[in-house]
Amino acid sequence: MRKLFFISMLFLISVSVSAKTKQPLYKDKNAPTEKRINDLLKRMTLEEKVLQTNQWTYGKNANANNIEASKKAVRPEIGSLIYRSISPIYRNEIMKKAMEESRLGIPILMGFDVIHGYRTVYPIPLAQACSWNRDLVSAACAVAAKESRLSGVDWTFSPMIDVARDARWGRVSEGYGEDTYANSEFCVASVKGYQGKNLSDQTSIAACLKHYVGYSLSEGGRDYHYSDVSPQTLWETFMPPYEAGVKAGVATLMSGFNDMSGIPASANPYTLTEILKKRWKHDGFVVSDWASVEQQINQGFAKDKKQATYNAFMAGVEMDMVDNNYLETLQQLVEEKKIPMKSIDEAVRRILRIKFRLGLFDQPYVMELPEKERYYKPQYMEVAAKMAEESYVLLKNKNNTLPLSKNFKQIALIGPMVHNKVDMMGSWEAQGVTDVVETIYQGFEKEYNGSAVLNYAKGCDFEGEDESGIEEAIKVAEKSDIIIACIGEKKDWSGENASRSTIALPAIQEKLIAALKKTGKPLVLVFSSGRPIELVRLEPNADAILAIWQPGIAGGTPLAGILSGRLNPSGKLAITFPLTTGQIPTYYNMRQSARPKQGKYQDISTEPLYWFGHGLSYTSYSYGKVTLSATKITKTEKLIAEVEVTNTGAMDGKEIALWYISDPVASITRPMKELKYFEKKELKAGEKTIFRFEIDPMRDLSFPDSDGKRRLEVGDFYLTIYGQKVKFELL
Ligand code: NOJ
């Protein structure tokens, strides 16, 4: 017996020690990752494994008084921390604790919400989508990744790819708008940007798709609320962006807060295991949203913490964010044989896999560069400014009010946004510094550089009843040639837990605009917001309207550049602007009703004010006739659609071709049209180009059933692009 024990011990030692280096195999950077994980798992106690499945939050700042106490509180074996400091030194200190004070030296995964930039804060995701520029989205995320990694952050909780059609929900600002395909494309672009070529590069961070899944359909647009998502809607609208992100190699996903049709998203075995792990073969891990494991108790899905842990863990959530549910109850559940050890091993394996891929075992520490070598590099600022420029959407331009006439020598800049920095940032400013924000006023100063006089008045605040500033605003307007009215939302009116019952701006801002209109001066409305705004009372008072969303730190110059005519606006809406809040939900790809001519609103027009895809330019584009390579194709053939587009105006510009498909009759009814491809191209004045869309029947003409299986059905289809509708047939 003793001999047998001796032999098996010898075997154990021989499998786990690297022959060349004599160090444990899991520390051998040349060994294959899965072998390293096997070796490490064999060495870990149950308690050590459970600690890997937990995430704590840590380090508000690097203040000396804070550091020691909070460092002491962190268990060196903890799986992950939400790392809130910007100091690489601080990160290295805490990492040293993990590497040297824990038995096995497993690095801690440092996560942080880097949503639209880390220090170089760029426009919110909804704005990014309006740029329709995949490369720019990738470039912006790559900037964020570099700044983050060098500051000690290895993992971002981004992108949010919850298709959002209810603008009352504050988190519309964090996603890529109302369309499933657009969310899928920008999801892939951002994952590529964050994760780079190789996760272990010191310029890459792990991405996290969130909030899996159906979170944006919360009732009444109220955050955290119940979302009733039919299986058909789940597959048609919400799952494709996640599937695209998984295919693009995303490291992690975050499970949502929402109770989805009776099963909380953080305890849903169908979405988390059946689909994500088994069907899509995702091999990274899922982190819960903040305390969403424990919140099953509020939702009536678990009677206590233990049951909540059981539900979430067994459904496929490997890491518990912040609420200590797993820490307190997972070990006991294993000891009671309610959760098998192999499930624990599988969960820990997934977490370790990402740590290995990030190279954390081999290079746990980051370079300790001074701030000036980490942030605001000229090329980072250029990306932020470019993104702002391309995300701005010109919604209205009556009689070519814009660009501003060169004869205007007195420009009135009026409104609470003119000198505002804080609200330009958006709801997730990460580690952005408000002082650095370039204001609208500063942008104009630079642009005009004394060639026009800038007359300023605040006019009113964002909200409240104080009208005392309006009189001065009128005086300023009266002595000017044109009014640029800069109004909008405060940044904390959108984002998490920031639902609004109306998407109209507070009455005081509408009053200001109505008063300015009475001066008879041409009026350009510039508004900043984290959602579509109800413009029904503002639009008639404005000669031109520009949506600038929340542009981040570098939005002033591009704005002034667009208004002056140095730059040509090119953004198009990635979300529909309802006429009034009461029209919600209104989105472009609705299904046809039983009585298309009826079912209208009695009191208002049923048309939204600005449809998805709307956006004007200072130049004009003419579209030739769309040609198809065939009028009939089989299921395995491709169909090539082409259209020649000419920039017929006097200014260089960028045109975005949005290609839609309609399937008028199917075994499951289809939306009236669906975006299937987009492309943005630069066109000099007078230049022509061909926009081309290669239709792949399985990808572009099929649709999912209520379990996600794709159906490709023969029959007629229509291809639409800017008013042209061409028929073809699938045989
Ligand atoms: C809650 C939010 O819903 C989620 O998006 C975020 O990543 C986490 N908190 C972490 O801060």
Pairing label, strands 252-255, 259-260: unpaired
**Two structure tokens written together for 128:** 């990014």
- Residue 406 and residue 390: Cα distance in Å, rounded? 23
Of ligand 1's listed atoms, the one at least distance from the Cα of 174 is 5
289 belongs to the catalytic site: yes
Distance 617 CA to ligand 1 centre (A): 37
Residue 69's H or E segment, with its range, is helix 64-73
User: Are the C-beta atoms of 663 and 639 separated by less than 8 Å?
Assistant: no
Of 110, 171, 290, the one to substitute when testing ligand 1's pocket (max ligand atoms within 8 A of C-beta) is: 290
Q: What are phi and psi for residue 344, nearest 5 degrees?
A: -65, -45
Closest CA to 228 of 255, 257, 258: 258
- Residue 493 and residue 499: Cα distance in Å, rounded? 7
Q: Whose CA is nearest to atom 11 of ligand 1?
A: 113
Of ligand 1's listed atoms, the one at least distance from the Cα of 160 is 5
Nearest-5° Cα angle at 495, 239 to 396: 90
Residue pointed to by tokens 């413009």: 535
Distance 294 CA to ligand 1 centre (A): 15
Q: Whose CA is nearest to atom 9 of ligand 1?
A: 290
**Two structure tokens written together for 609:** 């004010």
- Residue 345 and residue 457: Cα distance in Å, rounded? 63
Distance 112 CA to ligand 1 centre (A): 9
Strand locations in 297-365 (E): 320-321
Strand locations in 378-428 (E): 393-397, 410-414
Q: Whose CA is nearest to atom 1 of ligand 1?
A: 290
Pairing label, strands 263-264, 639-647: unpaired
Torsion of CA 84, 87, 89, 93, to 10 degrees: -10
Distance 667 CA to ligand 1 centre (A): 39
Evaluated on CA atoms 238, 241, 247, 250, the torsion sign reads negative
Residue pointed to by tokens 């049709």: 261
Distance 62 CA to ligand 1 centre (A): 22
Predicted local confidence at residue 11, as pLDDT: 39
Of 80, 205, 210, 266, the one to substitute when testing ligand 1's pocket (max ligand atoms within 8 A of C-beta) is: 210
User: Are the C-beta atoms of 720 and 662 separated by less than 8 Å?
Assistant: yes
Predicted local confidence at residue 271, as pLDDT: 98
Residue 677's H or E segment, with its range, is strand 674-683
Distance 290 CA to ligand 1 centre (A): 6
Q: Whose CA is nearest to atom 3 of ligand 1?
A: 289
Of ligand 1's listed atoms, the one at least distance from the Cα of 158 is 7
- Residue 572 and residue 656: Cα distance in Å, rounded? 8
- Residue 74 and residue 67: Cα distance in Å, rounded? 11
Of ligand 1's listed atoms, the one at least distance from the Cα of 211 is 5
Closest CA to 475 of 515, 435, 507, 506: 515
Of 124, 287, 289, the one to substitute when testing ligand 1's pocket (max ligand atoms within 8 A of C-beta) is: 289
Residues framing ligand 1 (Cβ under 6 A): 113, 157, 210, 289-290, 496
Helices (H), 436-540: 440-448, 470-478, 507-517
Peptide bond into 107 cis (omega under 30): no
Distance 476 CA to ligand 1 centre (A): 44
End-to-end Cα distance, the chain: 72
Distance 158 CA to ligand 1 centre (A): 9
Of 80, 293, 496, the one to substitute when testing ligand 1's pocket (max ligand atoms within 8 A of C-beta) is: 496
Distance 363 CA to ligand 1 centre (A): 27
| Farthest CA pair distance, the chain | 101
Distance 447 CA to ligand 1 centre (A): 38
Of 321, 427, 428, 431, the one to substitute when testing ligand 1's pocket (max ligand atoms within 8 A of C-beta) is: 321
3-state helix, strand, coil in the chain (%, to 5): 35, 20, 45
What would the pLDDT profile of 496-518 be if each residue is shown by its tens digit?
999 999 999 999 999 999 999 99
Residues of the chain with pLDDT under 70: 1-21, 60-67
Predicted local confidence at residue 22, as pLDDT: 80
Residue 547's H or E segment, with its range, is strand 544-547
The number of residues in the chain equals 731
Nearest-5° Cα angle at 186, 182 to 189: 150
**Two structure tokens written together for 663:** 């399937």
**Is the overall model pTM greater than 0.85, yes or no?**
yes
Q: Whose CA is nearest to atom 7 of ligand 1?
A: 157
Residue pointed to by tokens 């067994």: 314
Point out the catalytic residue in the list 113, 223, 259, 289.
289
What would the pLDDT profile of 67-81 be if each residue is shown by its tens digit?
677 788 899 999 999
Predicted local confidence at residue 17, as pLDDT: 58
Closest CA to 230 of 668, 628, 615, 547: 668
Of ligand 1's listed atoms, the one at least distance from the Cα of 257 is 3
